[in-house]
Amino acid sequence: MNFTILDCEQRSEMWFAARCGRLTGSQAADMLSRIKTGEAAARRDLRTKLVCERLTGKPQEDDYISKEMQRGIDLEATAFGEYEAITGVIVERTGFLSMNDKMVGCSLDGHVNNFEGIVEFKCPKSATHLKYLRSVGIPSDHYAQCLHNLWVSGAQWCDFVSYDDRFPADLQLHVVRMPRVEKDITAYALAVELFLAEVDAEVLSVQKLRKAA
């Protein structure tokens, strides 16, 4: 395993510090953003954020928690229990995975059987849960995050789980499995290497400005 597990709760001070300057799963979609010409604003803004974090040593993330986000946090334990009851597997809480040789990491909601599989839980708004119920495969807005987490963890599959206890009992839990596909992992890893090289180059250019002064 090419990572170190940091035992910290999500959104804790230690968690924010662990993520500082690292590319994480929640940022993967921005890193992959593309437009026809030039660079996508989301990708540019992410690079700037990581550069600032590396230069200052301070997280640039917003710790604001909306009412809907808090509801999702409060429901997560119930979602864990429902998933375990239906699948028959035991999910272990994971913490933050910090890659040993790259400025990369990810926050897993849980892992199964020593990282044979990983699980991504969402407790969204009802309209979003309905969209997930109707969708085929991993929702497009979470595909990059699941791919990133598979790469970092080395897992063979990722279960995307959406839970909403406001729906009828048989529609409350939605599970979609994303298998590990090596060609997709390889292509993603290459994209990460190129992006991190851009971050490194920008950090170096700013440091040279300081030396010149």
Tokens of 173: 């839990």
Residue 1: predicted pLDDT: 81
Question: Which one-letter DSSP state was computed for residue 67?
Answer: H
Q: Are 6 and 106 in contact (CB under 8 A)?
A: no
What are the extents of the domains in the chain?
Answer: 3-212
d(CA 23, CA 2): 15
**φ, ψ at 162 (rounded to 5°):** -115, 135
Q: pTM, whole model, 2 decimals?
A: 0.94
Alpha carbons 146 and 126: distance in angstroms, whole number: 21
Cα–Cα separations (whole angstroms), residue 183 to 44, 99, 101, 179, 188: 26, 20, 21, 12, 9
Which pLDDT does position 67 carry in this prediction?
85
The predicted structure's pLDDT at residue 9: 86
Residue 212 has a pLDDT of 59
DSSP three-state, residue 171: helix
**Residue 56, helix vs strand vs coil:** helix
> Hey, which bits of the chain come out as E strands?
3-6, 95-99, 105-108, 110-112, 117-122, 157-163, 173-179
Ranges of the chain with pLDDT below 70: 211-213
Q: Residue 208 has what pLDDT?
A: 87
Q: pLDDT digit string (tens) for 138-188? A: 999 999 999 999 999 999 999 999 999 999 999 999 999 999 999 999 999
What the block records as the tokens of 24 is 């994480």
pLDDT at position 41, please? Answer: 96
CATH number for the domain formed by residue range(s) 3-212: 3.90.320.10
